[in-house]
Amino acid sequence: MYIAMNITKNIHEWLLAILPETAASIVEMTLIALVYLAFFAIAGLFLVLLERKVAAWFQLRLGPNRVGFHGLMQTIADALKLVSKELTVTIKADKFLYNLAPYFVIVTALMALSLFPFSKELQAFDINIGIFFLIAISSIGVIGILLAGWSSNNKFAMIGAMRSGVQTISYELSVGLSLMTMVLMTGSLQLSEIVEVQKHGWLIVQGHIPAIIAFMIYMIAGTAETNRAPFDLVEAESELGAGFHTEYSGMKFAYFFLAEFINMFIISAIATTVFFGGYLSPFGITESIPLLGVFWFLAKTLVLIFLMMWFRWTFPRLRIDQLLVLEWKYLLPLNLMNLVLMALIVLLKLTIKF
């Protein structure tokens, strides 16, 4: 029995003993939400620090090394600084939409996090349309960016928001098609079932060449959808100041900043679940040791996050026309052909051995 299951079972029984069933369910859902909020904050702060350390490593610098042991407390100090800053609003901004925009980005990221199976027993929300739900949720997040740019009444913020809309609409197609390529293999959209299918081998191995192509396209398109370099035209500092969040300060700016890093975690976690076996151990011992599945899930995800950071500090920023040409002329046609190829392999039950 997993430690997590024992803890949740004991809490459930204790709440039922002191509260009516409906009230106990509400308290349980509130506790789960608080756990995910804590994970959101901690993971965001850790990934910001990791980004700075990786950037320093690539650029032969030390990176943060003053606050705490080897700079480990630097992001906490930055968070406290942002909390203490004044929340400013421009005079001509649409105040309601301006204040609403950051919460669109935060809430959609939290909803996506709830679907991931961190281990066999540690999953908040397991539905039979998991992949479809994740694609739908990722589409909603861009609404927050569009609202932020439009409501700020700033031309640079508006240009950044428009770029985000164009970029997200374009690259969502490649993200969705690459995931559908793997769904053809598993026959299910449910994340827990997709992981279970991989007990005898990761899908990127079972799917052979089409799976490898789908993974490469997914990582490129996923990087673009999170607005990270070399696809960071939404926040092109040399052109747009800070892009769509130019007029934001304090914690509202921090919400956008944290959401970018959590979205990077989400993109990597989807790839871990769909292509690399999720919480399953490469050595087949996940079931025998408590919480080892959580370790494998996070380890695989961090490797893919490092890959996305590698992209950022290696490639120069694309122009907007290059970004759209890459998607519509190259990635999308390749994705469609790859989808057909995977369908043929599944249909004919071909086994290709390298």
pLDDT, one tens digit per residue, over 204-230 is: 998 889 999 999 999 999 999 888 888
Q: Which pLDDT belongs to residue 290? A: 59
* pLDDT exceeds 80 at position 136: yes
Give the mean pLDDT of the chain: 87
CA distance 342 to 334: 12
* pLDDT exceeds 50 at position 135: yes
For 26-59, the pLDDT digits (tens) are 888 888 889 899 999 899 999 999 999 999 999 9
Q: Which pLDDT belongs to residue 2? A: 43
* pLDDT exceeds 80 at position 148: yes
Q: Which pLDDT belongs to residue 195? A: 93
Kindly report the backbone phi and psi dihedral angles of residue 137, in degrees, each rounded to the nearest multiple of 5, phi listed first.
-65, -40
Residue 15 — very low, low, confident or very high, per pLDDT cuts 50/70/90?
confident
Residue 233 — very low, low, confident or very high, per pLDDT cuts 50/70/90?
confident
Residue 1 — very low, low, confident or very high, per pLDDT cuts 50/70/90?
very low
Percentage with pLDDT > 70 across the chain: 93
CA distance 354 to 212: 13
